[in-house]
């Protein structure tokens, strides 16, 4: 974790099945000086991938966040206003309406993280995980 080297954005795509989760690891560097935790936009997309001719997007995934191996789900907040404001500002593509995708704001301190995407209801499908740093 190097001071001054922030995470700007990260994305990974994969297939999630009842037997196999998708795990995306990322590191957030320390900020210079006394800076509050930065705000991140977390998106786990399935149905909106149909815009890119991927009709097998996973609906309603179960998503968990860990930091250094410990649960950190409490840092993910369902904040639709934040998501709607910051998605276009960070260059994220528009989503299919009412698609049941995972969209959260997270105030994350420096550290090593894993975002795990799991199947619900025994379904399989493709997902795109996006993590964006915002200027909020």
What are the pLDDT digits (tens) for 8-43?
A: 678 899 999 999 999 999 988 776 656 668 899 999
In the chain, the percentage of residues whose pLDDT exceeds 70 is 90
Reply yes or no on whether the pLDDT at 1 is more than 50: no
**Which strands, in side-by-side order, build the sheet including 22-28?**
22-28, 111-118, 62-67, 70-71
Tell how far CA 96 is from the center of its chain.
17
pLDDT in tens, 72-96: 999 999 999 999 999 999 989 999 8
| pTM as predicted | 0.88
Per the model's pLDDT, the better-predicted residue between 134 and 5 turns out to be 134
């Amino acid at each position: 974790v190097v001071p001054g080297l922030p995470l700007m954005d990260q994305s990974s795509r994969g297939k999630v099945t009842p037997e196999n989760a998708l795990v995306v690891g990322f590191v957030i560097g320390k900020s210079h000086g006394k800076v509050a935790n930065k705000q991140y936009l977390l998106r786990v997309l399935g149905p909106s991938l149909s815009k890119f001719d991927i009709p097998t997007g996973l609906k309603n995934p179960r998503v968990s966040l860990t930091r250094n191996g410990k649960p950190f789900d409490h840092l993910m907040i369902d904040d639709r206003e934040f998501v709607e404001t910051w998605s276009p500002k960070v260059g994220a593509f528009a989503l299919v309406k009412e698609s049941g995708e995972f969209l959260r704001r997270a105030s994350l301190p420096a550290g090593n993280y894993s975002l795990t995407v799991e199947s619900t209801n025994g379904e399989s499908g493709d997902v795109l995980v996006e993590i964006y740093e915002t200027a909020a």
